[in-house]
Amino acid sequence: MSNDMQEFKELLAEVADLNGAIAVLGWDQQTYMPTGGAETRGEQLGTLAKLSHDKLTHPRVGELAAKLAAHGFADPDSDDARLVKVVLRDYEKAKKVTSAWVSEYAQVTTIAQDAWVAARHESNFSKFQPHLEKVIAMRQEYAEFFKPYDHIYDPLLDDFEPGLKTSEVQQIFAVLREEQVKLIRAIAARPQVDNSFLKTYYDIEKQKAFGMEVIKLFGYNFNMGRQDLAAHPFSTTFGYGDVRITTRFLDDDGASGLFSSMHESGHAMYEQGISEKLRRSSLFTGASMAIHESQSRMWENLVGRSRDFWTFFYPKFQAAFPSQLGNVSLETFYKGINRVQPSLIRVEADEATYNLHVMLRLEIEIALLEGSIKVQDLPAYWNSKMQEYLGVTPKNDAQGVLQDVHWSSGYVGYFPTYALGNLVSVQLWEKIQEQMPDLSSQIRAGQFGELLGWLRTNIHQHGCKYEPQEMVMKVSGSRITPEPYIRYLKKKYSEIYGL
């Protein structure tokens, strides 16, 4: 068995290496690649994606996985046992998809991403429309590989959230939406808090320096990563020892870039914390995107938007921006960064309204896949749904349908994980508070090592050994559920708005 396992791991290491190379090219495309390189980059990525797919679906991988699974393991939770289980699942799923489709998809999405950047810059959806039509058509083709399915969205959702069904997400969102709408209405009836001090000029270089200080203290290891700028912030992993983040800064918003950096560092610290024993294997990634988003949203919101955090950092922030914040009290600042106001841009949304942005995108993605709306009608449909969900209407495409990079990258099925990640973050946070009763005092002192250590032990080190629902159950005692998050929002905003 040891020889079989060794061969198995060597085959998977080649897949991991190719996927790391794909990540490098994808990162470069969104950071430094000249716009003229999109077509060539698409061809390169198409070749690498085909090679990766062919190696994963090679009959020898299936033979070894089946043989090792049949032999059994003394410890079903050992790294080797879990590796075989995960690879069997990935192998069977990948076998249903043709290599030709994988290669074409990589090329289509690479070119689409470049087109999205240009269309967003010009706020002109028509420039992106033909590319999105091709992406949606290919995602529909992808779902066809997995018939019969309960819902056309299921195979796509499963790519990002293994084992979760569309119906489960819709049930969770139905409860969540009702409660969040009630909360938003209650807040709207109260006097609004001031955040005008954030919407003025903030020097970008000073923003960068402050953000770097924060994420270093969080625990993001710059010896194993770096930060660059991108049109839409993201994090990416090339392999063990190289986990990178990007962000963007606005000179007329003092908080946007900082919270973006916190968010992406949360993703990156997850990947930096995966056990080195899992490197170059199929387990060297997050359990799911909801688990991933639980980490990014935890550091961005539960830590970064807390009064405890700013008790330590606000004097430093005031010192960096004295003309903007010199006369603004800590309490005023804390309320300002947590102001609830329906807005156009998802990544700038407050915690009370953010999930509605996600629910809107889920509804749109399902409608596109089912064919009940056409891509050409998307801007008008988007605007009408923004008015229905949030009571605001975009003035242009850049503020509306073109604001997110995900569809150009083919990530149809991803959006629900943002809201699910919010829910998981609070489920974990409640458990952390039980086990770390002095957590608040540690954060007020600017000490994050024990918090990161808890996450390393309970979440990060395992990579994707456990399915997401299994991991949440192991750590919190229940499956993904909206109740803890609803409690958190009500408590936080009742205090801020005097509900």
The 3-class secondary structure across 184-213, one letter per residue, is: HHHHHCCCCCCCHHHCCCCCHHHHHHHHHH
Residue 13 lies in a domain: yes
- Cα(39)–Cα(58) distance, integer angstroms: 28
Residue 140 lies in a domain: no
Q: Is the peptide bond before 34 cis (omega within 30 degrees of 0)?
A: no
Q: Which two tokens stand for residue 59?
A: 């009959």
Q: Which residues contact 141 (CB under 8 A, 6 or more apart)?
A: 101
Q: Are residues 180 and 62 in the same domain?
A: no
- Any idea what the CATH number is for the domain that residue 284 is in? 1.10.1370.30
Q: Which pLDDT value is given to residue 1?
A: 65
Give the three-state DSSP class for 343: coil
Neighbours of 373 (CB within 10 A): 17
Q: Which two tokens stand for residue 448?
A: 């994050």
C-alpha distances (whole Å) from 144 to each of 4, 104, 397 are: 34, 16, 31
Q: Are residues 221 and 286 in the same domain?
A: yes
Q: Are residues 202 and 299 in the same domain?
A: yes
Beta strand pairing status for 242-247 and 227-229? parallel
Q: Are residues 50 and 170 in the same domain?
A: no
* Model confidence pLDDT, tens digit, residues 360-409: 999 999 999 999 999 999 999 999 999 999 999 999 999 999 999 999 99
Q: Which two tokens stand for residue 417?
A: 């994980």
Residue 143 lies in a domain: no
Q: Are residues 58 and 202 in the same domain?
A: no
Concerning whether 450 is annotated as a catalytic residue, the answer is no
Query: What is the domain count for the chain?
Result: 2
Question: How many residues in the chain?
Answer: 499
C-alpha distances (whole Å) from 279 to each of 2, 50, 290, 457 are: 18, 22, 22, 17
* Model confidence pLDDT, tens digit, residues 419-449: 999 999 999 999 999 999 999 999 999 999 9
Residue 290 lies in a domain: yes
Q: Are residues 119 and 186 in the same domain?
A: no
Q: Are residues 125 and 198 in the same domain?
A: no
Q: Are residues 338 and 472 in the same domain?
A: yes
The DSSP symbol for 339 reads -
> Which helix H or strand E contains 429, and what residues bound it?
helix 416-435
Residues of the chain below pLDDT 50 = none
Q: Are residues 195 and 73 in the same domain?
A: no
239: β partners: 242
Residue 55 lies in a domain: yes
| End-to-end CA separation in angstroms for the chain | 63
C-alpha distances (whole Å) from 368 to each of 13, 329, 409 are: 37, 47, 16
Q: Give me the catalytic one of 104, 264, 293, 300.
A: 264
Q: Which pLDDT value is given to residue 231?
A: 84
Q: Which residue type, as a one-letter code, is found at position 315?
A: P
Residue 477 lies in a domain: yes
Domain range for 8 is 2-134
| E strand intervals along 323-366 | none
Q: Which pLDDT value is given to residue 35?
A: 87
Give the three-state DSSP class for 321: coil
Residue 161 lies in a domain: no
Q: Are residues 125 and 214 in the same domain?
A: no
Q: Are residues 203 and 71 in the same domain?
A: no
Last residue of a domain, one of 134, 153, 184: 134
Residue 312 lies in a domain: yes
Q: Are residues 201 and 79 in the same domain?
A: no
